Structure 1
Amino acid sequence: MSKSRELLLYTTLGCGLCEKAKVEIWPQLELFNLRLREVDIAEDEALMERFSIRIPVVGLGDLGDVCGWPFDQRQLRIWLEARLD
């Protein structure tokens, strides 16, 4: 079995849209053998500057290649398929 990779959810405390995004994210985790890790942008000045008005945003580690809200399960699946083998 291959090692689980992380899907990063850039979020912050009180982000209501982030809760909606999780509903779209959860089905993709098992499909792509991913583990969800929430990253609080308020704890990092660079992330706050980059994503403050864009969250929720998901990524695989490359800050220049992210999938921003709004997205649905299909759009997220297509985004992930293009990046994961």
Structure 2
Amino acid sequence: MVFFTTAQCHLCEVAEALLINTPLPEPVPVEAVDIARSESLVNTYGTRIPVLRRNDTGAELDWPFDQNQLLAFLAATPPGSPES
């Protein structure tokens, strides 16, 4: 999963704390990406961060989200998988 964030972003800090403190059924690797390093990322995510993007589906979850929304986002079955 990718966590789009940037420095001096209070909401990003809140979202990061939620990620850290949410008990997950299995570990999910998270790559934090600072959007300030890319003009393209700033254009795409500048007004939306913090944003989570699933690596398997490309689905995105924009802030605001709570623990239940985060868990539902992570539990969603990718299209075409045996469980869908």
TM-score normalized with structure 1 length: 0.77
Q: Equivalent residue for 2:52?
A: 58
- Paired letter, 2:54: L
TM-superposed deviation, 1:83: 4.1
The partner residue of 1:67 within 44, 47, 61 is: 61
Which of 1 and 2 has greater Rg?
2
The percent of aligned pairs where both chains have the same amino acid is 34
TM-superposed deviation, 1:47: 1.1
| Residues in 1 aligned to 2:68 and 2:13: alpha-carbon distance in whole angstroms | 17
TM-score normalized with structure 2 length: 0.78
| Residues in 1 aligned to 2:32 and 2:52: alpha-carbon distance in whole angstroms | 9
Aligned length: 76
Residue ranges of structure 1 left out of the alignment (5+ in a row): 1-6
Moved over 3 A (4+): none
When you count helix as a share of all residues, which structure comes out higher?
1
Q: Equivalent residue for 1:82?
A: 76
Residue ranges of structure 2 left out of the alignment (5+ in a row): none
When you count strand as a share of all residues, which structure comes out higher?
1
